[in-house]
Amino acid sequence: MNWVEFSSDAFIAAFFLYCFGFMFYVIAVAGKKWSNRDPELHVKRWARIAYIVSALGLLAHLTFFFTRWIGSGQIPTSNMYEFMTFLGMAIMIAFIIVNAIYRKPVLGMFSLPLVVLIVAYASVFPQEVQPLVPALNSIWLKVHVTTAALGEAFFAVAFAAGLMYLLRVVDFKGTGKKARRAQRWVEFTLYVIVVIIAFIATVFIFRGMGYQASFTQELVNIDSRGVETTTVQEVDYGMPPIFKPYNSEVVEMESFLGMSKPLFETPSWMEGVNAGRKLNTIVWSILIGSLLYGLLRLALRKPLGAVIHPLMDGIDPDDLDEITYRAIAIGFPVFTLGALIFAMIWANIAWSRFWGWDPKEVWALITWLFYSAYLHLRLSRGWQGAPSAWLAVIGFVIVMFTLIGVNLVISGLHSYAGVS
Amino acid sequence: MIHNTKCECGHQNHIGTVLCEACGKPLREDMQSQEPLEMRYDGVARRSQKSNPNIIDRVWNFFSSVKIAVYLIIITLLGSILGTLLPQENTFIRGNPADYYGPNHGWFGELYYQLGFSRTYESWWFITLLVMIGTSLVICSLDRVLPLYRALSKQQIRKHLSFITRQKVVYTRELDVPGEDFARDMEAQLKRRHYRVHREGDALLAEKNRFSRWGPYINHIGLIIFLLAVLARSIPGWYMDEYVTVPEGEAVAIENTNYYIKNEKFTVDYYTDEELPDHLQGQLRPKLYKTQAVLYECTANCNDLVEEPVLEEVKRHDIIVNSPLSYKGLHAYQFDFDDTPKLAAVQPSLINKETGENYGSFELRMINPELNYKVGPYELELRSQYMEFAIGEDGNPTSLSRDPNAPAFFFIIKGPGLSEKGETYLYFPRQVDKQRFSQDQINRHISDRLELSVGSMEGVTFAGATSFLNIRVDTAMPYVWVGAAISMIGLIMGFYWNHRRIWLRVDNGKLSLGAHTNKNWYGMRSDVASAFKKMGIEVDPKSLDNGGKNS
């Protein structure tokens, strides 16, 4: 067995340990209302078990990271799979740090599923080691990527705490206009999370089934001299094509549930690399996600927010508010250093300019501006509590767009990462 | 709104003061509740809180508002997003951006281009936003840091009772020991926790990490230096980012400078098939390309159109990726190359088509050709030249680029058997272009009598590979790094340490303790609780919370 294979086993171990850690945190938090026990003792005991299991998960994850580094000879942060797993690991580290300060089991109940989700999302991407272009292989790349991810990890913990705050304080019985609006948005956030889970599940289900379809797509490009060039490329789908690529012909397509040809064509204005496949994946995720959400609602007979809300009883919302702010305050300098300053040093070495307004750079700046606005708003009255928690949630959406969305939608120097 | 600014303790405060600078008593009537106090900037009057503001004060007041700063940040954020919707113009090195947006992105692309979003980050409004943020940084900081410095450097130890009991962290109880003894014990406990303690009988002020209050301002100084460095690029001579095309063996002037750069030899190595993985077999992938470059400085006749400039060699370097030629702040980076064969010169012969007689040949260079040629009894005058011939939208000939991709030469031929004024002749050296543009049709009045043609490959010379170099000057670079470093130091100071203060006084055996921090109340409460614990008083840290906002 070589290092890389061993690292994959460690990765699977980490994934399951995180899942168990999450379950134990749920038991710690939800189980204190169970009969025949002292609630305080119960929380203390199960929170410790959950913490130990999660820490073991991190240990396995670190083992994965370093053995893969040894096995591949380069730091495993160079493609989407490696970067997302690293981000998951960084969130665990940030969680361990914040938890060391505040010791709230409920933080684990929200941080761990986030880590599980990100690690599972990482596994969607191809996992083989890809050699790095030698010109890009610099110490500053490693420093830049890892520090930026660590800063973002603290924002992720702030997101978890912010979402908890909202689930804790939003009045799920209220019928007023304000309460209704808050309920709707919290529910929408939870729905989006269900869709992301559905995306991961859908990818793995169709992959397990070995589903395949392929198309030839004609791409017309007009260069800046007005010369038209047509290229034909093959596009492979791993999911049944609801949307086929724009201007394409079916080469091969397995029939799925009686669907033997694509239903729609991707609109022409979607021009990203493999736009058709991405649109198809998104449509599938939303379909399956909505189905999953509908089944959950049917089973629970309540909005998801209203189901989670009672679990949060007895948690001091002020603590959650402070944890949210604190996590961002810890993460902000790290993010500034990693995503902007180290990035500038690295860009100055690799592309001989420290800033080039590349979309990824701009989005890192946008993230930074957003959190600076957050930190300034915290100084003013009326921006603590719920508004601040919403900002933490939106901030993390911007972080994720910078990490994933930019690669999927806009092409640029960092576009190495966009697959699937 | 006229407030009596003199406090009952006798201190004369500035207008706009919220908490007396000496004793901390809340000064405004509307603050006489029991709510926790607004402790921002220790309740001092900011410069912007002046009565009767004049025009400069108004501008100052505008930029001193944190609310305005947040608006500026949000607008800049939204503007930046706009610029990422489509590729920016600076990503095109060659070609006309106007021909890119419309054809590739439809009406949206056209609108994007027309509104100038294709140059978002160079646009006047974006630069204006950056300048406004810079102004806001300076004014916000000055407005607050000076009064805050004044307030923190002369703090009174015994604060007003309502100042203490209206802090966010408060503890009161009846004491069974003399007040002074208690304060002395507390002093020892807090010193152990690294507080700087000032005691005045039974009143006490403990403080630590005051320096962290300066973090935000140091960060802002760093950001200002950074922004100024970026803006300094518009100072003439400070910044240049140009691309030059240097064919092998030629020296090219670098615009706006006194320098010329010569490409003495260009070499490129390709990967062999053994070195490539299977899916890349048979492809040409460059492994290493190198320009042997010489930098010259022009010493005389520099912008003279007639005289040859006098050049003096100043630097010689083999430029490869990541190894630029550098001389006095000017850097020449290897950017790209083109090694497809390009015509350098042809040797056409003038032939009489009717008799087959060859009148002789001449050398016609693609770059800087001679204007007059004499071939046998004929005289050829070069009227115009097209490097990449095309018929423009107006129906007239035009050139699409400056590379000899489809060269064409427009001659006037004079000589025996031709009219006095001479006859026009359009000559395409490349056989492909000759057919594509129907040379014989264009020249039909003369083409059955005379013809220019190249007999064999010996009559054709090709140019060496062309190297594209990126010439950069960025004098502001060191200031960019200094600004970033200062900013980072400020961030670390401000975020990883918190300024914590504890006030304590004993009145008739009753202890009143108040504590304040600018960040991290959790830590503040546990500091107080653990000091109490050491003194035998058990307090739940959370119970010290007096409500109010977290910040």
Chain A, window 44-73: residues with a beta carbon less than 8 angstroms from a chain B beta carbon: none
pLDDT in tens, A248-271: 888 878 777 777 778 888 777 666
Tell me the average pLDDT across B382-411.
Answer: 83
Q: Is B76 on the interface with A (CB under 8 A)?
A: yes
Phi/psi of residue B187, nearest 5 degrees: -55, -45
Q: What angle do CA B526, B528, B532 make, to 5 degrees?
A: 110
pLDDT in tens, B296-327: 998 888 777 777 788 889 999 998 877 888 88
- Give the model's pLDDT for residue B68: 92
- Give the model's pLDDT for residue A52: 94
Domain extent, residue A317, equals 3-172+303-417
State the smallest CA–CA distance between residue A398 and chain B in angstroms: 11
CB contact under 8 A, A356 and B480: no
For residue B386, list its beta bridge partners.
B408
Given a cut of 90, whether residue A308 has pLDDT beyond it is no
Instruction: Tell whether B190 and B132 lie within a shared domain.
Output: no
CB B145 within 8 A of CB B498: no
Tell me the average pLDDT across A156-161.
Answer: 94
- 3-state SS, B322-349, equals CECEEECCEEEEEEEEECCCEEEEECCE
CB contact under 8 A, A325 and B551: yes
Given a cut of 90, whether residue A357 has pLDDT beyond it is no
Compare A278 and B413 and report the one with higher pLDDT: B413
B66 domain-assigned:
yes
State the smallest CA–CA distance between residue A213 and chain B in angstroms: 22
Given a cut of 70, whether residue B1 has pLDDT beyond it is no
Compare B302 and B407 and report the one with higher pLDDT: B407
- Give the model's pLDDT for residue A413: 43
B494 domain-assigned:
no
Q: Considering its fold, how many domains does chain A have in total?
A: 1
Instruction: Tell whether B166 and B314 lie within a shared domain.
Output: no
CB B202 within 8 A of CB B180: yes
Tell me the average pLDDT across B363-391.
Answer: 86
Q: Which of A72-86, A267-281, A341-355, B58-72 has the lowest average pLDDT?
A: A267-281
Q: Is B95 on the interface with A (CB under 8 A)?
A: yes
Given a cut of 90, whether residue B73 has pLDDT beyond it is yes
Q: Three-state SS for A219?
A: strand
Mean pLDDT comparison of A182-191, B93-102, B154-163, highest-scoring range: A182-191
Tell me the average pLDDT across A318-333.
Answer: 92
Tell me the average pLDDT across B77-89.
Answer: 88
pLDDT band per the 50, 70, 90 thresholds, residue B156? confident
B214 domain-assigned:
no
Q: If you write DSSP's letter for every residue of B62-111 in order, what string do you get?
A: HHT-HHHHHHHHHHHHHHHHHHTSS--GGG-SSS-THHHHHHHHHHHHHH
CB contact under 8 A, A336 and B491: yes
pLDDT band per the 50, 70, 90 thresholds, residue A408? low
Measured CA to CA, the distance from residue B408 to residue B397 in angstroms comes to 10
Q: How far is CA B303 from the centre of its chain?
A: 32
Measured CA to CA, the distance from residue A245 to residue A265 in angstroms comes to 6
Where a domain ends, among B422, B453, B484? B453
B386 domain-assigned:
yes
Report the chain B residue with the minimal C-alpha distance to residue A318: B550
- 3-state SS, B254-273, equals CCCCCEEEEEEEEEEEECCH
Instruction: Tell whether B169 and B113 lie within a shared domain.
Output: no
- Give the model's pLDDT for residue A272: 62
Compare B259 and A252 and report the one with higher pLDDT: B259
Q: Is A361 on the interface with B (CB under 8 A)?
A: no
Q: Which two tokens stand for residue A312?
A: 């949060």
Domain extent, residue B201, equals 157-209+510-544
Where a domain ends, among B136, B151, B166? B151
Given a cut of 70, whether residue A410 has pLDDT beyond it is no
Q: Which of B84-88, B281-285, B418-422, B450-454 has the lowest average pLDDT?
A: B281-285
CB contact under 8 A, B83 and A362: yes
Instruction: Tell whether B179 and B249 lie within a shared domain.
Output: no
Report the chain A residue with the minimal C-alpha distance to residue B77: A366
Instruction: Tell whether B326 and B364 lie within a shared domain.
Output: no
Measured CA to CA, the distance from residue A76 to residue A64 in angstroms comes to 10
A88 domain-assigned:
yes
Given a cut of 80, whether residue B264 has pLDDT beyond it is yes
pLDDT in tens, B320-357: 877 888 888 888 888 888 877 778 888 888 888 888 88
Element (H, E) at B379: strand B378-386
A294 domain-assigned:
no
Element (H, E) at A138: none
Instruction: Tell whether B139 and B170 lie within a shared domain.
Output: no
**Distances from the Cα of B348 to the Cα of B361, B393, B459, angstroms:** 5, 31, 7
Q: Which long-range contacts (C-beta less than 8 Å, at least 24 apart) are formed by A251-260?
A: A251/A214, A251/A215, A251/A216, A252/A212, A252/A213, A252/A214, A253/A213, A253/A214, A254/A211, A254/A212, A254/A213, A256/A211
User: Shortest CA distance to B87 belongs to which of B121, B131, B53?
Assistant: B121
CB A127 within 8 A of CB A81: yes
User: Shortest CA distance to B105 belongs to which of A254, A410, A114, A89?
Assistant: A410
Instruction: Tell whether B137 and B180 lie within a shared domain.
Output: no
Cβ pairs bridging A and B (under 8 Å): 120
pLDDT band per the 50, 70, 90 thresholds, residue A368? very high
- Give the model's pLDDT for residue B499: 93
Q: Which of A167-181, B34-48, B79-93, B189-203 has the lowest average pLDDT?
A: B34-48
User: Shortest CA distance to A203 belongs to which of A92, A81, A90, A325?
Assistant: A81
Compute, in degrees rounded to 10, the torsion defined by CA atoms B365, B370, B375, B377: 160
User: Shortest CA distance to B510 belongs to which of B170, B16, B105, B257?
Assistant: B170
A230 domain-assigned:
no
Q: Considering its fold, how many domains does chain B have in total?
A: 4
- Give the model's pLDDT for residue A266: 79
Instruction: Tell whether B336 and B366 lie within a shared domain.
Output: no
B490 domain-assigned:
no
Q: Three-state SS for B451?
A: strand
Given a cut of 50, whether residue B412 has pLDDT beyond it is yes
Instruction: Tell whether B117 and B161 lie within a shared domain.
Output: no
A128 domain-assigned:
yes
Q: Which two tokens stand for residue A240?
A: 């049944």
Q: What is the pTM of this model?
A: 0.81
For residue B260, list its beta bridge partners.
B253, B296
State the smallest CA–CA distance between residue B239 and chain A in angstroms: 12
- Give the model's pLDDT for residue B362: 87
CB contact under 8 A, B84 and A101: no
A232 domain-assigned:
no
- Give the model's pLDDT for residue A90: 95
Mean pLDDT, rounded, of chain B: 85
ipTM of the complex, rounded to two decimals: 0.86
- Give the model's pLDDT for residue A414: 45
Q: From chain A, pick out residues whose CB is under 8 angstroms from the CB of B83.
A: 357, 362
Instruction: Tell whether B100 and B193 lie within a shared domain.
Output: no
Where a domain ends, among B106, B129, B151? B151
Q: Is A381 on the interface with B (CB under 8 A)?
A: yes
pLDDT band per the 50, 70, 90 thresholds, residue B133? very high
Q: Which long-range contacts (C-beta less than 8 Å, at least 24 apart) are formed by A283-286?
A: A283/A242, A283/A243, A284/A199, A284/A202, A284/A239, A284/A240, A284/A242, A285/A195, A285/A196, A285/A198, A285/A199, A285/A202, A286/A195, A286/A198
Q: Which two tokens stand for residue B325?
A: 């030629």
pLDDT in tens, A183-227: 999 999 999 999 989 988 888 888 888 888 888 888 776 665 556
A274 domain-assigned:
no
- Give the model's pLDDT for residue B95: 63
- Best mutation site among A139, A228, A318, A332 for testing chain B: the one with the most B CBs within 10 Å? A318
A247 domain-assigned:
no
A35 domain-assigned:
yes
pLDDT band per the 50, 70, 90 thresholds, residue A417? very low
Element (H, E) at A131: none
pLDDT in tens, A15-59: 999 999 999 998 888 887 777 777 788 888 999 999 999 999 999
- Best mutation site among B74, B76, B240, B549 for testing chain A: the one with the most A CBs within 10 Å? B549
Q: Which of B66, B94, B491 is opposite residue A379, by nearest beta carbon?
A: B66
